[in-house]
């Protein structure tokens, strides 16, 4: 009986020892698993840190490129605006070149304040010395030449923008119909006894005071 009790105690000790051993083994296995899991997490954190650094670098590069693009756009915009402004100014100057604002004589002349109307239409009448050149007051094309040596000649210049300039003098015309003229083109050379020049402007089929256009644009 005593022997049986000893055997039972030994079995109990063995069972307890085996149980403790199993628990210890389980603890070791769990610690190993936990350690590996922590290492995996640490490795993933490192990878994420590297990826984050790369993303941050790419973001900074993109930000720099964006700033450079903004500067280029501003420069391009300024360049385009400058070109547009220059083109607008050029077009304005070109358009002005076809408005008859100039003086119709290359030299001095006396203005006749008494004769300001011809057949109820405004006219500017000038007295110039023999040899003075009558010139076009803007760029355009000679649209018509009428009259003769005894009655006098009328040269009409079409400026292509609703304006016509009209030159009345008894001297022989030095241009022909269809000829392109500029402010340097000689229309007449004042001859002896034909020193009077009548000058008119038509704007959109209406005669206007030539002096008013000279005052506005001259």
**CATH code of 212's domain:** 2.70.70.10
The CB density around residue 192, as the number of other CB atoms within 10 Å, is 9
More confident residue, 10 or 175: 175
What is the pLDDT of the chain when averaged over all its residues? 86
Rounded to the nearest 10 degrees, how much is the dihedral formed by the CA atoms of 7, 11, 13, 17?
A: 150
Coil, helix or strand for 102? coil
End residue of a domain, out of 37, 70, 97 = 97
Coil, helix or strand for 178? coil
Query: In the numeric block, which tokens belong to residue 161?
Result: 């923008």
* Residue with token string 């000279």: 214
Q: Which residues pair with 98 in a beta bridge?
A: none
Q: Are residues 59 and 126 in the same domain?
A: no
Percent of the chain's residues with pLDDT above 90: 50
Distance from C-alpha of 153 to C-alpha of 194, rounded to nearest angstrom: 11
> Which residues constitute the domain of residue 47?
1-97
Distance from C-alpha of 195 to C-alpha of 152, rounded to nearest angstrom: 12
Grade residue 56 by pLDDT with cuts at 50, 70 and 90: confident
Burial status of residue 51 (CB atoms within 10 A of its CB: 0-12, 13-18, 19 or more): exposed
- pTM for this entry: 0.64
Q: What is the CA 62 to chain-centroid distance, rounded?
A: 29
More confident residue, 190 or 56: 190
Grade residue 164 by pLDDT with cuts at 50, 70 and 90: very high
- Domains: count for the chain: 2
Half-sphere exposure (CA, 13 Å, Cβ side) for 15?
6
End residue of a domain, out of 97, 128, 144 = 97
Grade residue 16 by pLDDT with cuts at 50, 70 and 90: low
Given a cut of 50, whether residue 9 has pLDDT beyond it is yes
């Amino acid at each position: 009986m005593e022997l049986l009790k000893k055997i039972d105690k030994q079995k109990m000790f063995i069972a307890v020892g085996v149980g403790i051993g199993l628990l210890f083994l389980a603890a070791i296995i769990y610690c190993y698993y936990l350690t590996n899991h922590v290492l995996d997490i640490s490795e993933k954190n490192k990878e994420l840190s590297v990826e984050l650094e790369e993303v941050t670098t790419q973001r900074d590069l993109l930000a720099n490129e964006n700033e450079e693009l903004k500067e280029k756009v501003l420069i391009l915009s300024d360049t385009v605006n400058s070109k547009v402004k220059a083109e607008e100014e050029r077009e304005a100057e070109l358009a002005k070149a076809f408005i008859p604002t100039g003086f119709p004589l290359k030299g001095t002349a006396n203005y006749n304040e008494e004769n300001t109307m011809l057949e109820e239409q405004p006219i500017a009448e000038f007295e110039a010395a023999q040899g003075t050149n009558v010139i076009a007051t803007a760029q355009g094309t000679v649209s018509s030449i009428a009259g003769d040596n005894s009655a006098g000649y009328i040269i009409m210049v079409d400026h292509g923008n609703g304006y016509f300039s009209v030159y009345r003098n008894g001297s022989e015309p030095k241009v022909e119909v269809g000829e392109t003229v500029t402010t340097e083109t000689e229309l007449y050379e004042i001859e002896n006894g034909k020193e009077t020049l009548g000058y008119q402007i038509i704007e959109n089929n209406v005669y206007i005071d030539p002096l008013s256009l000279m005052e506005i644009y001259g």
